[in-house]
Amino acid sequence: MKKTIFKGAGVAIVTPMNEDGSINFDKLGELIEFNISNHTDAIIICGTTGESATMTDKEHQDCITYAIKKADGRIPVIAGTGSNDTKYAVALSKHAEEQGADALLVVTPYYNKCSQEGLIKHYYAIADAVNIPIIAYNVPSRTGTNIAVSTCVELSKHKNIAAIKEASGDISRVAQIRAACGDDLDVYSGNDDQIIPILSLGGKGVISVLSNCMPKETHDICEFCFENKYEEASHLALKLLEFTNGLFMDVNPIPVKEALNIMGFEVGECRLPLCKMPQAKIDNLKAQMQKIGLIK
């Protein structure tokens, strides 16, 4: 049995941008403090929601270092260090470990893809190079690669591969992973609308987009589940469901950055090729936020 990295709601935090497209570290600090003060259980930096795909090597490293220093041990910081180039993923993972990251989030190789054997070798190469735990990130809709359940079993045998972020949307698959891997591989939901079913199967929490805007509520949904208060968890999750889904009315993280801007956080826009939503979608998002009292 491996040590659990975190339990509850970890925020897949956005990367705020200045008007010139550079990273706004002051705003990133504000968001980290906002999340910590509202009971977020972990910070996930430089993930998909953090626009890691359009960061330079230096920006990627600087964001990881900044988040670790800002959190200052108050909650775990998990660094996104995945790549479709195993050698680069190893180098970035080593840097994150050297800076003090508590764990790594490593997405499956994208575009070039690979076989299941290639996946095992890819993850083992990274896990052999570090001494901190790894969360494998399965998001086939973005990468074109799906980690087979049998591959999850093989990954779970490595002492440093501790968990999987499951964003396939397939609850039956999550049940199969839990049955096959047991306590050797923790499961985190990669979808905010599937927190309750995944936690009911023994999942440890969620890596959340919703937490950017509603960290306490997302934490509370998880906490209710841990306390076997599933009626309360369902009531809160269903109340927020329209907004939860609204955060994906356009390509993530376009809507969540828009929502944060509406809330007054001034996180800027996404980098191209991601662009601002049409006004009709912005108006719809505002209406959803008003409906749940997030804004007036």
Condensed to tens digits (0 to 9), the pLDDT of residues 13-39 reads 999 999 999 999 999 999 999 999 999
Cβ atoms 147, 115 nearer than 8 A: no
Residue 96 resides in a domain: yes
Distance CA 31, CA 186 (A): 27
pLDDT higher than threshold 90 for residue 110: yes
Instruction: Grade residue 205 by pLDDT with cuts at 50, 70 and 90.
Output: very high
Domain containing residue 56: 8-227
- Annotated catalytic residues are 137, 165
Provide the angle, in degrees to the nearest 10, between the axes of the packed helices 57-71 and 86-99.
Answer: 30
pLDDT higher than threshold 80 for residue 185: yes
The average pLDDT across 167-174 equals 96
What's the chain's average pLDDT?
97
Give the total number of structural domains in the chain.
Answer: 1
- Residue keyed to tokens 């955060």: 247
pLDDT higher than threshold 80 for residue 1: no
Q: How far is CA 222 from CA 1, 149, 178, 244, 290, in A?
A: 22, 25, 18, 15, 24
Residue 263 resides in a domain: no
Residue 144 resides in a domain: yes
Instruction: Grade residue 2 by pLDDT with cuts at 50, 70 and 90.
Output: confident
Residue 249 resides in a domain: no
Residue 22 resides in a domain: yes
Instruction: Grade residue 283 by pLDDT with cuts at 50, 70 and 90.
Output: very high
| CATH code of the domain covering residue 97 | 3.20.20.70
pTM for this entry? 0.96
Residue 268 resides in a domain: no
Residue 39 resides in a domain: yes
Cβ atoms 129, 93 nearer than 8 A: yes
Q: Where are the alpha helices (DSSP H) in the chain?
A: 25-37, 57-71, 86-99, 116-129, 140-143, 149-156, 171-181, 195-200, 215-226, 230-246, 254-262, 279-291
The average pLDDT across 233-250 equals 98
Residue 32 resides in a domain: yes
pLDDT higher than threshold 80 for residue 276: yes
Instruction: Grade residue 135 by pLDDT with cuts at 50, 70 and 90.
Output: very high
